[in-house]
Amino acid sequence: MPQMPKRVKFRKVQRGRVRGVASRGNTVAFGEYGLQVLEGGWLSAEALEAGRVTVAQFMRGEGRLYIRVFPHKSITSIPAETRMGKGKGEPEYWAAVIKPGMILFEVGGLPEQSARDCLARVAYKMPFRCRFVKRQAS
């Protein structure tokens, strides 16, 4: 089942726009390898879940997965062929707001080649261009 908030203060939110690059959440913090987004936009909870399932099937219990984003934004839509002036539509799905440079997924406890294969499969499911990144020595 896709992720969504347990409860929210307001059911409907304004669209807003994605500007600039990520200043937070842009480094590998928990695992050893990560999947970094190169474009901005909205990532639906369904796409996030598809990535999670792909990693779970690939790793089969070995290693650890960290999901670094959460779908906080409700995306609304109105039915097709509805006349203007009938108000805002109902929430259709939940999405995470993604800025370029954000880390979506991190994996740990895998050899580098396995992590590359795993995150390449996840990147194929994502609606953005992504790249494989390693943890920086600190």
Q: Dmax of the chain from CA atoms?
A: 57
Number of domains making up the chain: 1
Q: Are 25 and 34 in contact (CB under 8 A)?
A: no
The per-residue pLDDT for 138 is 61
CA separation for the pair 48, 50 (Å, rounded): 5
Please check whether residue 43 lies inside any domain of the structure. yes
Judge whether 111 lies within some domain. yes
The CATH number for 71's domain is 3.90.1170.10
**Residue 27 domain flag:** no
10, part of any domain: no
Domain that residue 82 falls in: 33-134
64 in helix, strand or coil? strand
Amino acid 137: pLDDT: 73
Domain-located, residue 2 = no
**For residues 103 and 25, is the Cβ–Cβ distance under 8 A?**
yes
- For 109, the token pair is 């406890």
* Predicted pLDDT at 101: 97
In a domain? residue 47: yes
Residue 110 lies in a domain: yes
For the entire predicted model, the pTM comes to 0.92
The CA angle 41-116-30, to the nearest 5 degrees, is 70
What pLDDT does residue 68 have? Answer: 97
Residues whose CB falls within 8 Å of the CB of residue 55, separated by 6 or more in sequence, listed in order = 65, 105, 107, 118, 119, 121, 122
pLDDT of amino acid 136: 86
- Note whether residue 25 is domain-resident: no
Question: What does each of the 138 residues of the chain score in pLDDT, given as a tens digit?
Answer: 889 999 999 999 999 999 999 999 999 999 999 999 999 999 999 999 999 999 999 999 899 999 999 999 999 999 999 999 999 999 999 999 999 999 999 999 999 999 999 999 999 999 999 999 999 876
